Structure 1
Amino acid sequence: MAKMLSRVAPWLASHKDGTAPAGTSVRTLGGSDTSALRRLALQDPVANVFILSHLRAAGTAAPTSGGAAVIGIFNDGILVGACWTGANLVPVQLDPAFAGLVAAAANVSGRRYASAFGPAEPVLALHAELAGLGHTAHEVRAEQPLMTLSGPPSVEPNRELALGRLADFDRILPACAAMFEEEVGYSPFLGGREFYSRRVEGLIRQGHSLVHLNPAGEVVFKAELGAVTPDVTQIQGVWLNPLYRGQGLSSGYMAAVVEQARKIAPVTSLYVNGFNSRARAAYQRVGFREVGTFATVLF
């Protein structure tokens, strides 16, 4: 790999138009590329849990019925990098030197992306290239520690956390929407409720929604296992009701999430905003340790 990349670097400055140098090709992956994409992603099953989870569910690297696709970078016919292009952009083992090629290919669709997220270096390189193509970001979170826990939690789990139930969907959905708006600054219902509602319902049906409702039926805490493989789960959507913040509850709830996640896969992961020192401290108390750095660009 290192030798191949040393051949790529010299042409980076001269291929800002997205054209590929000799020996390198860029194309949308199809079903026949599924095994190659899986092998590529398994080089780092924690960082690439999103695409591995997709491949587990879909069974193919081919474009989805909704128009999402994976752009592949090939060197002498070998898949050496990729990027999911759906509502979001998610690089897969993508060397930053290929960011211009991926950005040019992603731009052709005319799609406006909600975000780019994943390992910091390729995400920030994609942002730089996309900015030159007119994709303006409204926020760049350049430092998001990627954290994992490979054993049981270090604190006692809160036993009141349970799997979300469809019977409680009308209570869980507003909490999920509140988390989303607090995190990204706008409502997930912009443009309609259907897509986001289906996402939340799907997580409940899969047993990947975790929630504690108080006796009045209000959500106190919730989280989801947003990406799941037999090896790794990724916790997403962590939210504690503002009425219960500052009471030292987060660690117990997160320990309970880990306890549930370990029933599915041995490694539990998450990524957190670098500026959120309180959340980072809570995760560290539970036993999470930093293994890398993600970045998120919100367009």
Structure 2
Amino acid sequence: MLGTAVVRGLTAHDIPSVRMLLDRDPGVNVFLRYRIDTTALRDRVVGARVWGFFDGDDLVSACHAGSNIVPAEATPEAIEAFAEHLLVEGIRPASLAGLQSAVLPLWERVAPFLGPARSVRPVQPFLSIDRDPELSADPRVRRVTMDEFDLLYPACVAMFLEEVGIDPEAAGGHGYRARVAQLISQGWAFAIIEDGEVLFKTEIGAASPLACQLQGVWVRPDRRGQEVAAGALAAVIRMVRRDVAPLVTLYVNDHNAAARATYRRVGFGERATFASILL
């Protein structure tokens, strides 16, 4: 507690106020908004808590607290309070992610207790597009169907290994397989599949009525540098904006020059800077 400020777990009663808070920046905050919309903040469903930082009766900031720590609209006072709460509750997250301005000071506060990090990614441009791309869309892109799970899954594993640096199947892979199956069943997995092989794929990782976030953009290694991704993403963005949400976002590692050039070509603009800490 800091003066009149307090951190507490949010409940269903808080949903209107936390939605209002997150919709100040619907693109940046889409992950947390998606979690709230899909769980209704029921503890038995969420598998993690969402904390609120209050100044009196006013909700000032929020933070997803589970395997992923994701602060939202976090003030310096909220960051300090969330760090203290994280340590007191003894949570051992797999990652911290979100706006650089919140994640890095939060990590600095908790690193002596949670570190060392497996990977610190301090600069990840956050990109968005709110219009259909002018670039021609690749007509081969389509939603993946459940009977194509065994085709898509190896590409998802390859992307995860390349991006995160660990094997999602190391502990049996049941959770990761279930997540991929869920995305397919939602109509949130997109790919180019030719001759039984995935050439390109991406998924929607989170969505609200206002925005959605793409994840896992991947091109088969032997097709990279052949301009596959740009036209494929143009197709995905058109479908997603039509069927899911008008604002499409993603974030990318700053050192990935090829990916950043592709996103610029498609029409994404840089709006903010994210950071991720992988533990």
2:107 is aligned with 1:127: yes
Aligned position for 2:235 = 256
Aligned position for 2:200 = 221
User: Aligned pair count?
Assistant: 278
Unaligned runs of 5+ in 1: 1-19
Could you tell me which of 172, 176, 199 is aligned with 1:192? 172
Compute the TM-score of the two structures, normalised by the length of structure 1.
Answer: 0.89
CA contact (8 A) 2:200 2:228 kept: no
Aligned position for 1:269 = 249
Could you tell me which of 22, 44, 53 is aligned with 1:41? 22
Could you tell me which of 12, 24, 42 is aligned with 1:31? 12
- Structure with greater contact order relative to length (CA < 8 Å, sep ≥ 6): 2
Find the aligned partners of 2:71 and 2:270 in 1 and give their Cα distance.
20
Secondary structure at 2:127's aligned position in 1? strand
CA contact (8 A) 2:92 2:114 kept: no
Could you tell me which of 57, 65, 87 is aligned with 2:38? 57
2:54 is aligned with 1:74: yes
Q: What amino acid does structure 2 have at the position aligned with 1:36?
A: S
Find the aligned partners of 1:134 and 1:285 in 2 and give their Cα distance.
39
Secondary structure at 2:113's aligned position in 1? coil
2:215 is aligned with 1:236: yes
Find the aligned partners of 1:92 and 1:144 in 2 and give their Cα distance.
16
Deviations 1:162-208, CA, capped at 9 Å, x for gaps: 10111010111111111011001111122221111111000000000
Find the aligned partners of 2:116 and 2:109 in 1 and give their Cα distance.
11
Find the aligned partners of 1:148 and 1:71 in 2 and give their Cα distance.
27
CA contact (8 A) 1:115 1:298 kept: yes
Cα 1:45–1:213 change in 2 (3 A) is same
Could you tell me which of 98, 113, 123 is aligned with 1:118? 98
CA contact (8 A) 1:124 1:142 kept: yes
Q: What amino acid does structure 2 have at the position aligned with 1:31?
A: A
Find the aligned partners of 2:78 and 2:46 in 1 and give their Cα distance.
26
Secondary structure at 1:65's aligned position in 2? helix
Secondary structure at 1:233's aligned position in 2? strand
Find the aligned partners of 1:43 and 1:27 in 2 and give their Cα distance.
21
Q: Which moved more, 1:63-72 or 1:112-121?
A: 63-72
2:130 is aligned with 1:150: yes
Find the aligned partners of 1:23 and 1:245 in 2 and give their Cα distance.
55
Deviations 1:56-106, CA, capped at 9 Å, x for gaps: 222x23434363011111111211011101210111111133222112212
Q: What amino acid does structure 2 have at the position aligned with 1:48?
A: N
Find the aligned partners of 1:97 and 1:39 in 2 and give their Cα distance.
20
Secondary structure at 1:100's aligned position in 2? helix
User: CA RMSD of the aligned region, Å?
Assistant: 1.3
Q: What amino acid does structure 2 have at the position aligned with 1:224?
A: E
